[in-house]
Chain A
Amino acid sequence: MSHTYHRRTSSTVIFLGLLLAFTITVTFLSEGMGAGVISTSFVKTLGKTLCLALVAISMDLVWGYAGILSLGHFAFFGLGGYMIGMWLMYERTREVVVTSLADAPIPPTPQEVSDAIANRIFGVVGSADFPMIWAFADSLLAQLMLVVLVPGVLAGVFGWLAFRSRVAGVYLSILTQAMTLALSLYLFQNDNGLRGNNGLSGLQNLPGLTDVPQALVSVWFLWGAALALGLGYLLAVWVVSGKFGSVLRGIRDDETRVRFLGYPVETYKLVLFTGTACMAGIAGALYYPQAGIINPAELAPIASIYLAVWVAIGGRGRLYGAVIGAAFVSLVSSWFTGGQAPDVPLGFYTIKWVDWWLVVLGLSFVLVTLLAPKGIGGLFDLLERRVAPDRHGADLGPDQGSLREEESRE
């Protein structure tokens, strides 16, 4: 056991060290605070990637450690973004409105200010009233709490309903996907109070900090994202290394057996599902102010599936694998789809990566699933010469795909 503990801590220390080094390097190379080698937009991309890594960790916890393939965690991520976006948009619009009304001969009443804000925000969907759900939009503290509460409560209710009726495996995946679809369809409606498919925009402008250049704001958000990722990673390591983590792995490998041993399986799953949803919400709240805009398309079921793809390619069941997968796949994706990758002329046909990247991603995903279930993280096993025993094609344990024997040796 001591060996295991040492190895885990060492990987955590290495990860945190790398994260710190990365943050310091980017800070000193950024436009806002250093040499200006890295452009502000790329600093934002890196900051967003850190947020994606955080949501990937939450996905890895539910999927890699507890075996719940949730296709809804990116929806929780988006909900967090919506919650913080409401405050950002409200406060920012309020500033603009108050400034424009300041020159009037008679000061505006609170009602007039509120009407003017509502008109500016909801004019685009043909409404001029604040919907109920914006009741707390004027309070940063309340919206920050909602960032955690809304995804948490949704996940809690959904998880409670699903786990208590013993929906598991692929059924649960399909059900979470349906939940995500319902949520995104709901958000697409214009009369839902969240501006329909226009989404919330202008989130990069921080209220009260209009004079601060974006170059500096981007570095702040990079720090915030790095801090959140570091803390999230530590939390995740703490969760999976204790007894709680052992039970989770037990549930993943054989749920029934864990239940017969007397553990309240549903409670464990629910706590994990809800907790990771909150984590995803926080990641989203840090992501969307950097992205500047959030709309319902961000929450579509496909996004949650991509999240699973990142974790699978990075290597599930190990936390740094999720981080590597999210960072690698999202950065490579944006490189290919951003039109920076050079075209490949074949003579009869020119491969444009903008068109063909998704095909490559899809097929490489199939190949990773088939040939390298451990993902990129498996490379570290090769480095450490940890070789899984050759079982001549038989299962690793009683349940499909479990790593039980390997782990019991540890």
Chain B
Amino acid sequence: MKNLLMAALALVMSCAFARAQDAPMQAILQEQSALIMENSRRTIAPAIAAVSDSGLPEAQDVLQAWQAKNLWQRRADGLFFRATKAEGKTYTLYDFDTHQPAGTVPASDLEQIKPNSGIRALIGSALVQFQLQDPDPKRRLAALTSVQRNPSADALAPLRKSIPDENDPSILALKLRLERLLTIAHDPDEAQRIKAVSEMSGDLGVDVRATLNPLLATRLAVFAGPPPATLNIAKTLVPGASIEVVQAYDMLVKADLAPELVTDAQLYAALVEHVSDGTVGGIATHQLDDPQMRQRAYAALAAAGTVRTAPDVERIAQTLEAHSFVEVYLEPSSDVTDAVSKALDTIAVTVGANQAMDLLLDGLSLASIYFLAAIGLAITFGVMGVINMAHGEFIMMGAYTGYMVQQVIPNHTASILVAIPLAFAVTFAAGVIMERLVIRWLYNRPLETLLATFGVSIALQQIAKNIFGTQARPLTSPAWLDGAWVINDVVSISYIRIAIFVLAVFFLGVYLFIMRRTRLGLETRAVTQNPRMASSMGINLNKVNMLTFGLGSGIAGVAGVAIGLFAKVTSELGSDYIVQSFMTVVVGGVGNIWGTLAGAAMVGFLQKGIEWFNPSNTLAAQTFMIVFIIIFIQFRPRGIIALKGRAAGD
């Protein structure tokens, strides 16, 4: 039977050879037919190599068809075709060399080649070289990305081969970079690897670190006596110092170099098992609430041979002494590991510098948020001396105004442009109403202002909760504010935060303009310095107070829109910011906008700085920041920038 088959095969092959001149690809396939049909991961490599190294333009076609399980063999003559499903159970065949249809045949006349996943992966890496040289740049890019995701040693040679012919500069850059990384990871030549490592040191890319870090992977190993010199040793561990004694001993046990310890649980179980007549090993059970008595009972049991002997402390120390514990690099070459750790150190320094830069940007953006939240307070508290505990609720009203506007105007850009002045108007009105109804009666009683405005604050918060519910409402930023300005893999800042920074600077300008260049500012400053004198100069105190308070509240509303863009809008939005806002004003120095600016910068940078020490715990950062501020106030009770002389008011 087998002979018959072989004979048939020989016949078929001779048939095929006859066509070799005009069908080179088919010829190669016929040559490898046995391997292809064997379809085994272990033996298929020469067949794939024969196809991919053939230099024929059809090679890519064949490999793709093969990989996609579209390669079929005609049972009659053993020829290979690409086949696509036609009507019913028939398939249309395509010749690889001519690219022409070669008839439609029923499935029963064909045999499908079904490569398993291992073979498909081999075909895939053979395909890479074709894809890397594909005329379509998109395909080249896709192939590069797949190599990047799964950097294997096989990709290195085709990648190098594709570099000289590359004409797209951006893809060329990518290819060169990838080639360096693959060289580091997989090049058999050590000198080449070290050269590549030193070239890439200082690069900030995450991919570089992802390539370098595995090269420093270590395993723990234990040896009787000193470790063999052939190993690339990263570190020698001393039990009790650089490795826990228990862990070291466990390693010995695992390597069968020492007897197993008796754990507390095992000891307990052994004692329980051997209780008889209320005693274990000659010791009464009621005495066994002492660990030492337990040890003694166990020792007695061991002496009697009922349980295995536990290694004693001295024995453990001796065993540990006699062995050496080392961390061994998986990478055998010490030159490579040295170069890699040096490169990683260089990278760590660069990354550190850039992280500091990133932290600075984060701090700046947090500072501008606090400044925006506090600038309204700087007016009502700083200039007028009115404690407005409802300031946070004005911020919340501004954010909800933004949300309402977005319900009416679906275009995000337009809605934000409408929301900002509208929020100003709404909170300006609210501020004026509150000033008229509540605050003006309490100008001489600051503590009571605090309490009354607090009453307003809880009422407003609850009203917002009743209207909008407790769930967070989204305030969506326009699409052009999405995303982030990425400077490199470490430093980036989202556009929203830049926008908030710009807004903060803008309102600083507005404040300065109003206070220094307008009639209102002049009158406000006069009223602040001496209300009675200002009043006798013909300034309408009521009007000035009302407008100033309204201005402060209005800016809080605008801050609310800005804060709502990156935080969820809830009725508690304001109370999250109120204490920090007061801190900002108090730390900076009351009555001075530059003080508020300095205060916001200090609070913002401080919080980010503390967060950096313990990134997972923002609560701790806030706690420490407040404690720090309380201490800071001890040394500068009047804030960073304190008013002096008459302006200080005392």
**Whole-angstrom distance between the Cβ of B381 and the nearest chain A Cβ:** 8
A362 touches B455 (CB 8 A): yes
A301 touches B451 (CB 8 A): no
Q: Mark B339-351, 1 if CB is under 8 A from A, else 0.
A: 0000000000000
Known A-B contacts A165-B637, A395-B444, A401-B448; the reply to A366 vs B626 at CB < 8 A is no
Q: Which of B629-648 contact A (CB under 8 A)?
A: 629-631, 633-635, 637
Determine whether A347 belongs to the interface, using a CB cutoff of 8 Å to chain B: no
Q: Which of B421-462 contact A (CB under 8 A)?
A: 438, 441-442, 444-448, 450-452, 454-462
B451 touches A355 (CB 8 A): no
Determine whether B288 belongs to the interface, using a CB cutoff of 8 Å to chain A: yes
In this complex, how many residues of chain B approach chain A with their Cβ under 8 Å: the count is 55
Determine whether A37 belongs to the interface, using a CB cutoff of 8 Å to chain B: no
- Which residues of chain B have C-beta atoms less than 8 A from A302's C-beta? 458, 575
Determine whether B291 belongs to the interface, using a CB cutoff of 8 Å to chain A: yes
A362 touches B456 (CB 8 A): yes
**Whole-angstrom distance between the Cβ of B456 and the nearest chain A Cβ:** 6
Q: Mark A168-204, 1 if CB is under 8 A from B, else 0.
A: 0111011101110110011011010000000000000
Determine whether A344 belongs to the interface, using a CB cutoff of 8 Å to chain B: no
Known A-B contacts A179-B626, A181-B626; the reply to A107 vs B289 at CB < 8 A is yes
A106 touches B622 (CB 8 A): no
**Whole-angstrom distance between the Cβ of B619 and the nearest chain A Cβ:** 5
Determine whether A237 belongs to the interface, using a CB cutoff of 8 Å to chain B: no
Partner of B286, one of A107, A312, A356, A400: A107
B637 touches A355 (CB 8 A): no
A167 touches B633 (CB 8 A): yes
Determine whether A161 belongs to the interface, using a CB cutoff of 8 Å to chain B: yes
Taking each of A105, A301, A361, which has the highest tally of chain B beta carbons within 10 Å of its own beta carbon?
Answer: A105
Partner of B455, one of A170, A188, A366: A366
- Which of A108-116, A215-223, A272-280, A318-326 lies at the interface with chain B? A108-116
A173 touches B450 (CB 8 A): yes
Partner of A369, one of B387, B452, B579: B452
Partner of A363, one of B271, B286, B448, B459: B459
Determine whether A207 belongs to the interface, using a CB cutoff of 8 Å to chain B: no
Provide the bound-state CA to CA distance between A88 and B582, in Å.
Answer: 38
Determine whether B49 belongs to the interface, using a CB cutoff of 8 Å to chain A: no
Provide the bound-state CA to CA distance between A1 and B440, in Å.
Answer: 37
- Which residues of chain A have C-beta atoms less than 8 A from B288's C-beta? 106-107
**Whole-angstrom distance between the Cβ of B550 and the nearest chain A Cβ:** 19
Please tell me the size bucket of the interface on A: 35 or more
Determine whether B617 belongs to the interface, using a CB cutoff of 8 Å to chain A: yes
Provide the bound-state CA to CA distance between A109 and B635, in Å.
Answer: 52
Determine whether A158 belongs to the interface, using a CB cutoff of 8 Å to chain B: yes
A366 touches B452 (CB 8 A): yes
- Which residues of chain B have C-beta atoms less than 8 A from A401's C-beta? 444-445, 447-448
**Whole-angstrom distance between the Cβ of A36 and the nearest chain B Cβ:** 37
A106 touches B285 (CB 8 A): yes
The closest CB in chain B to the CB of A370 belongs to B441
Provide the bound-state CA to CA distance between A369 and B442, in Å.
Answer: 9
A362 touches B459 (CB 8 A): yes
B619 touches A171 (CB 8 A): no
Determine whether B414 belongs to the interface, using a CB cutoff of 8 Å to chain A: no
Determine whether B623 belongs to the interface, using a CB cutoff of 8 Å to chain A: yes
A108 touches B637 (CB 8 A): no
Known A-B contacts A167-B637, A362-B455; the reply to A178 vs B438 at CB < 8 A is no
- Which residues of chain A have C-beta atoms less than 8 A from B446's C-beta? 169-170, 400
Provide the bound-state CA to CA distance between A305 and B441, in Å.
Answer: 21
- Which residues of chain A have C-beta atoms less than 8 A from B15's C-beta? none
Known A-B contacts A170-B387, A359-B459; the reply to A107 vs B444 at CB < 8 A is no
Determine whether A373 belongs to the interface, using a CB cutoff of 8 Å to chain B: yes
Determine whether A51 belongs to the interface, using a CB cutoff of 8 Å to chain B: no
A179 touches B630 (CB 8 A): yes
Determine whether B465 belongs to the interface, using a CB cutoff of 8 Å to chain A: yes
**Whole-angstrom distance between the Cβ of A64 and the nearest chain B Cβ:** 11
Partner of B442, one of A158, A312, A358, A370: A370
- Which residues of chain A have C-beta atoms less than 8 A from B637's C-beta? 165-167, 171
The closest CB in chain B to the CB of A371 belongs to B441
Determine whether B551 belongs to the interface, using a CB cutoff of 8 Å to chain A: no
Known A-B contacts A106-B275, A107-B286; the reply to A365 vs B452 at CB < 8 A is yes
Known A-B contacts A185-B619, A373-B448; the reply to A106 vs B462 at CB < 8 A is no
The closest CB in chain B to the CB of A104 belongs to B272
The closest CB in chain A to the CB of B585 belongs to A174
A161 touches B630 (CB 8 A): yes
Known A-B contacts A106-B271, A171-B586; the reply to A308 vs B633 at CB < 8 A is no
Determine whether B583 belongs to the interface, using a CB cutoff of 8 Å to chain A: yes
Q: Which of A333-378 contact B (CB under 8 A)?
A: 355-356, 358-359, 361-366, 369-370, 373
- Which residues of chain B have C-beta atoms less than 8 A from A149's C-beta? none
The closest CB in chain B to the CB of A308 belongs to B451
Determine whether A50 belongs to the interface, using a CB cutoff of 8 Å to chain B: no
**Whole-angstrom distance between the Cβ of B591 and the nearest chain A Cβ:** 13
Determine whether B268 belongs to the interface, using a CB cutoff of 8 Å to chain A: yes
Partner of A370, one of B452, B463, B579, B631: B452
Binding site for A on B (CB under 8 A): 268, 271-272, 275, 280, 285-286, 288-291, 294, 387, 438, 441-442, 444-448, 450-452, 454-463, 465-466, 575, 579, 582-583, 586, 617, 619-620, 622-623, 626-627, 629-631, 633-635, 637
The 8 sampled A-B contact pairs (Cβ below 8 Å) are A106-B268, A161-B634, A171-B586, A173-B447, A177-B582, A181-B626, A182-B623, A365-B452
CB-CB nearest 9 A-B residue pairs: A362-B459, A365-B455, A182-B626, A358-B462, A362-B458, A366-B455, A107-B289, A400-B444, A369-B452
Known: A178-B582, A185-B619, A366-B452. 6 other contacts (CB 8 A): A161-B634, A177-B579, A191-B617, A308-B451, A356-B462, A359-B463
